[in-house]
Amino acid sequence: MIGAREATLSLAGALRIARFDARGMLFFNASVAGFWRSFWVAALIAPFHFLYVALVWRMMEEGTSLARYVSLEVIVYVCGWVAFPLAMVTVSQLLERTERFLLFATAYNWTQLVLAAIGVPVQIAVVTGLLSGAAMSIALAGVIVYALVLTWFLARRLLGVGDFAAALVVVVELAVSYVIQLFGVLML
């Protein structure tokens, strides 16, 4: 379990990082224990993510089994939280930044809370029809671009790599996400 002090400091760090302030890295517990505790963010985001999942299910064809759909979404959600950090173990080794992996991964996990606070309401607004047309396109594009730039910033500053290597990290994140989402669609 994560303590209130560590959670508060990590959230403060994530908010700084979300404003592209690299000093936010000073707020994270970049130990092995801090890395594992950063996955509590997945539990914090889960209710909001699954509210979105429920809204999507309501709009699907009538023959789609709720149990199958939710089970598959749980698998995709967990894979999404595990696969990128696993991929980054290898990428960190290739970039010769293994010693900075824990800081990067911990900060990455905590910044997902900020991204969810921005992205989930946009997704819900799209699914419910509150956003459509140009407003929908602009909002979704804004969230996606911000998330990609934030990952680039994390890699650049917290892994301490150059622009090209940071872009490689973004490509790895996109590839991992794409494969997981494709798996989910194919299994549905």
**Sign (positive or negative) of CA dihedral 182, 185, 186, 187:** positive
Q: What is the pLDDT of residue 182?
A: 94
Cβ neighbours around 164 below 10 Å, total: 7
Say which range, 22-26, 94-98, 183-187, has the weakest mean pLDDT: 183-187
Model confidence over 27-77: pLDDT tens digits?
999 999 999 999 999 999 999 999 888 888 887 777 778 888 889 999 999
Q: What is the pLDDT of residue 58?
A: 80
Q: What is the pLDDT of residue 60?
A: 77
DSSP state, residue 99? G
- 62 or 25, which is more confident: 25
Query: With bands split at pLDDT 50, 70 and 90, how would you rate the model's confidence at 187?
Result: confident
DSSP state, residue 28? S
**Sign (positive or negative) of CA dihedral 138, 141, 147, 151:** negative
Does residue 116 have a pLDDT over 90? yes
Q: What is the pLDDT of residue 56?
A: 85
Q: What is the pLDDT of residue 40?
A: 97
Q: How far is CA 185 from CA 47, 103, 154, in A?
A: 21, 33, 29
Q: What is the pLDDT of residue 75?
A: 95
Model confidence over 117-167: pLDDT tens digits?
999 999 999 989 998 899 999 999 999 999 999 999 999 999 999 999 999
State pTM to two decimals.
0.93
Q: What is the pLDDT of residue 134?
A: 93
Distance CA 17, CA 21 (A): 5
Query: With bands split at pLDDT 50, 70 and 90, how would you rate the model's confidence at 5?
Result: very high
